[in-house]
Amino acid sequence: MLWRLPGGSCGFAPYVVRRTLIPDLVLDAYGAQGGVGVTFEDGRIVDIGPAKRGERLTGKALAPGFVNDHSHAFQRGLRGAVERIEPSHPLDDFWTWRERMYALANELTPDSIRKVSRRCYEEMLSAGYTSVTEFHYVHHRPDGTSYRDPNALAKAVARAAEDTGIRLLLLPVAYARGGLPRFRDPSVRAFLERVDTLVEWSEGRSLVEAGVAAHSVRAVPRGWLEEIGEYARLNSLPLHIHADEQPREIEECQAEHGMRPIELLARTGFLGPGTTIIHATHANAKELDLLSEHDASVCACPTTEGNLGDGFLPAEEILQRNIHLSIGSDSHVRIAPCEELRELETNARRLSGRRNVLVAEHETSPTPWLLRAGWDRVGLKAGDPADLIEIDLSHPALADVGARNLPSALVFGAGSGVLVGTWVEGRKVHGPDDPVG
């Protein structure tokens, strides 16, 4: 039975309250099942099971949407523009790339950041990401003074997400030193006041949630790390930070603090179950042990880390310690969740000279661990948001693949072209027009 509420929010089609989709297959991290319907109501899945009545999605499979846990949406504006040597920088590396990125960041206005973010989020939806964590550090006017609304740029990014229908975790990022004047707040107190206001503003916006972040141990001093860590804990907010992306950052941290970045984060109370370390590319065994002890997570961004020459994620060591892993498209050199997952395993194979390396205990394939990192869940289940992707089983990349092998074919043998629909909160936000919604 289908019925509708009048009107819809954010310009979407009328909101369908209850709906059952019956695809040929429902995919999880371990395989795929036929004869299963997915019923959702008010944006949440309420039932997964045998269903005879509902809308048939012939030739299609449904699976969870991917979670993009690290994004700088405005960097989508660098696509294709940084893949050549500049005569002024004959030796190109992360640090020269950063100069190009700063030049772009300095030009942004509330209107232009909304526009580039919208383009980026539309691409994410087309690639199968249904939610994104935006690590947002461009806060003020180019000269460092506040906009009339000190959160104007953060709100422009949030509105871009709402324009497209993607789910957003918005992280205002503390920046104390270095970078551009518009990244920086004068004090940690001033920063946290802005975060308070933004958290309050985001409440009641169905697609937007706010957390908090510090840019890096390079950009944020010890006292700030202590206060931001405590603030996140007291307010139960997700807490993110870049760490161990480049060897130089580690050397500078050792020179300033006499310890490595993740050791400093542990010492300042920044690490906890709500903390996510972005990159951890050069984390050593002691630092990984600290992440495990504090139940903190790692977000890997393999296509960006490859593009910037960062190095290889210590993925095997992360798996051995059972550290929670997520993926992010970061600089958006590519927006393709299965490519991020494939890179994790492919890099592990190149490094080890073995095949099927990232295999969790009691499992025989890397695919379940990789898909859990990409989806942040094992499969669709009642109670979860109705954030789904619709896969074309007749696509040349998946034709003749049996149900048992479908998850691995998705990770290892397919691109985003196999996706024909993306649903967030039970609304179709990408793909051919929804005949009902």
Q: What is the largest CA-CA distance in the chain?
A: 66
Query: Using alpha carbons only, what angle is made at residue 107 by residues 105 and 113, rounded to the nearest 5 degrees?
Result: 70
- Comparing CB distances to Zn ion, the nearer of 122 and 330 is 330
Phi/psi of residue 365, nearest 5 degrees: -135, 150
Q: Work out how close the CB of 437 gets to Zn ion at its nearest, in angstroms, rounded to a whole number.
A: 34
DSSP state, 146?
P
Amino acid 277 reads I
- Comparing CB distances to Zn ion, the nearer of 325 and 411 is 325
* Residues 290 and 318: beta-carbon distance below 8 Å: no
- Comparing CB distances to Zn ion, the nearer of 94 and 201 is 94
Token output for 26: 């429902």
Q: Which one, of 292, 64, 71, lies nearest residue 171 by Cα?
A: 71
Q: Helix (H) and strand (E) counts for the chain?
A: 13, 17
Residues from 158 through 187 that contact Zn ion (CB under 5 A): none
* Residues 296 and 271: beta-carbon distance below 8 Å: yes
Residues from 325 through 364 that contact Zn ion (CB under 5 A): 330
- The strand pairing partners of 145, in sequence order, are none
State how far the alpha carbon of 128 is from the alpha carbons of 304, 374, 410, in Å: 18, 10, 12
Catalytic residue among 69, 244, 310, 330: 330
* Residues 67 and 129: beta-carbon distance below 8 Å: yes
Q: Work out how close the CB of 180 gets to Zn ion at its nearest, in angstroms, rounded to a whole number.
A: 15
- Comparing CB distances to Zn ion, the nearer of 68 and 164 is 68
Catalytic site includes residue 330: yes
- Comparing CB distances to Zn ion, the nearer of 60 and 332 is 332
Catalytic residue among 279, 282, 294, 332: 279
Q: How far apart are CA 286 and CA 294, in angstroms?
A: 12
Q: Work out how close the CB of 245 gets to Zn ion at its nearest, in angstroms, rounded to a whole number.
A: 8
Q: Work out how close the CB of 198 gets to Zn ion at its nearest, in angstroms, rounded to a whole number.
A: 19
Instruction: Kindly determine how many residues on this chain lie close enough to bind Zn ion according to the rule CB under 5 A.
Output: 1
Q: Work out how close the CB of 334 gets to Zn ion at its nearest, in angstroms, rounded to a whole number.
A: 15
Name the segment binding Zn ion (CB under 5 A); options: 176-184, 323-331, 345-353, 426-434. 323-331
State how far the alpha carbon of 233 is from the alpha carbons of 133, 230, 338, in Å: 19, 5, 33
Specify the 3-state DSSP secondary structure of 304. helix
DSSP H helical ranges for 69-221? 94-107, 110-127, 152-164, 188-202
Q: Work out how close the CB of 242 gets to Zn ion at its nearest, in angstroms, rounded to a whole number.
A: 5
Residues from 188 through 217 that contact Zn ion (CB under 5 A): none
Q: Which residue's C-beta sits nearest to Zn ion?
A: 330
Catalytic site includes residue 72: no
- Comparing CB distances to Zn ion, the nearer of 140 and 215 is 215
Please give the residue ranges that form the binding site for Zn ion (CB under 5 A): 330
Residues that are catalytic: 279, 330
